[in-house]
Amino acid sequence: DTGVSQDPRHKITKRGQNVTFRCDPISEHNRLYWYRQTLGQGPEFLTYFQNEAQLEKSRLLSDRFSAERPKGSFSTLEIQRTEQGDSAMYLCASSPASGGNYNEQFFGPGTRLTVL
Amino acid sequence: DAKTTQPTSMDCAEGRAANLPCNHSTISGNEYVYWYRQIHSQGPQYIIHGLKNNETNEMASLIITEDRKSSTLILPHATLRDTAVYYCIVRVEYGGYQKVTFGIGTKLQVIP
């Protein structure tokens, strides 16, 4: 399968713990996005990378959140000192810089986080 | 990005056309209309997009009114697998940078 992959698919943690999620985009895509989706809502934009550069961060991305894409390939999203309000689906998407489908964002299956 | 208004939910009989409306009365001249859908427990999937002309691909057709204040996504022969939440989004193309703002979408239930 050559689509966007995310790991883990599910994560249950206790409040106050740190968690890290990984996203592997489609290999030739240099744009990578993170979104958060809570129950009954559409995905909300968190941050955007072009290659290894983080070019935009939403105000939803508090100081406890950090995202990296060190080599311009996979990306990680870390949440420190998790809170119950962080419980959500975290979605990763990627898109190419050019080409016939550069208008599309290709989404991964998401990581569902539950904070107890 | 301009806001959109969609019905919260719709039903459609299997095999019939599903017509999903979207209002975007504040759309500006350089904003495109995009449609994504999200099947339960999966990430969103791109369907189609357009600026002012009607568009068709293997998944759906997009009809945009002449004043561009509204559009309709048409699934010509709905199947049970089309049951999903459908998101209508309008946004500017920033040279490929595509920050997407999703609303609540329309939950389409295809009925056998």
**pLDDT tier at B98, thresholds 50, 70, 90:** low
Question: pLDDT exceeding 90 applies to what percent of chain A?
Answer: 77
Q: Which of B93, B97, B104 shows the shortest C-beta gap to A48?
A: B97
Residue with token string 């105000």: A59
Q: List chain A residues with CB under 8 Å of B107.
A: none
- Asked if omega into A8 is within 30° of 0 (cis), the reply is yes
CA distance A44 to A65: 15
Q: Do B98 and A105 touch (CB under 8 A)?
A: yes
**DSSP per position, B6-54:** --SEEEEETTSPEEEEEE-TT--TTEEEEEEEE-TTS--EEEEEESSS-
User: Are the C-beta atoms of residues B54 and B65 closer than 8 Å to each other?
Assistant: no
Q: Is A18 on the interface with B (CB under 8 A)?
A: no
Residue in chain B nearest A39 by alpha carbon: B104
Q: List chain B residues with CB under 8 Å of A44.
A: 102
Residue in chain B nearest A55 by alpha carbon: B97
Q: Does residue B69 carry a pLDDT above 90?
A: yes
Query: Which pairing describes strands B9-13 and B106-111: parallel, antiparallel, or unpaired?
Result: parallel
Q: Which of A91, A95, A98 shows the shortest C-beta gap to B98?
A: A95
Over the stretch A12-47, which tens digit does the pLDDT of each residue have? 999 999 999 999 999 989 999 999 999 989 999 999
Q: Does residue B35 carry a pLDDT above 60?
A: yes
The confidence score (pLDDT) of residue B65 equals 96
The confidence score (pLDDT) of residue A1 equals 55
Question: Which two tokens mark B90?
Answer: 């309008």
Q: Which of A31, A42, A98 shows the shortest C-beta gap to B105?
A: A42
Q: Does residue A97 carry a pLDDT above 80?
A: no
Instruction: Give the mean model confidence (pLDDT) for residues A69-80.
Output: 95
Instruction: Give the mean model confidence (pLDDT) for residues A53-58.
Output: 90
Q: Phi/psi class of residue A60: alpha, beta or left (left: φ > 0; alpha: ψ in -120 to 50)?
A: alpha
Q: Which residues of A, range 25-84, sit inside 8 Å of B by Cβ?
A: 31, 33, 35, 40-45, 48, 50, 55-56
